[in-house]
């Protein structure tokens, strides 16, 4: 029982001295910064994964306000089948 009383007395003294508050503040800042950086990197990874399909040439999508002329579709088809130059 004396050990608990001594521990509580020491805790109260350290709290009043400011050492314990400084330690708790440092721990709080460390946990907050690690959580923030982890959350940010997770969001960047999710955004990259979501947009990865649009970065691939096979997944390219064209949108227009009017229908695409058949001549342009034929030209695009020929270009897709043509061998690529190194």
pLDDT value, residue 38: 95
pLDDT value, residue 20: 84
Exposure b/e, 16-43, CB count within 10 A at least 16 = b = eeeeeeeeeeeeeeeeeeeeeeeeeeee
Q: Where are the domains of the chain?
A: 2-81
Average pLDDT, the chain: 83
The pLDDT-based confidence of 81 (bands split at 50, 70, 90) is confident
- For residue 70, pLDDT beyond 80: yes
- For residue 59, pLDDT beyond 70: no
């Amino acid at each position: 029982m004396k050990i608990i009383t001594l521990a509580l007395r020491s805790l109260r003294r350290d709290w009043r001295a400011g050492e314990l508050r400084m330690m708790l503040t440092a721990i709080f800042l460390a946990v907050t910064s690690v959580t923030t950086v982890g959350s940010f990197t997770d969001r960047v990874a999710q955004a990259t994964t979501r947009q990865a399909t649009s970065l691939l040439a096979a997944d390219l999508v064209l949108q227009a306000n009017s229908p695409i002329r058949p001549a342009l579709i034929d030209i695009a088809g020929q270009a897709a089948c043509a061998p690529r130059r190194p």
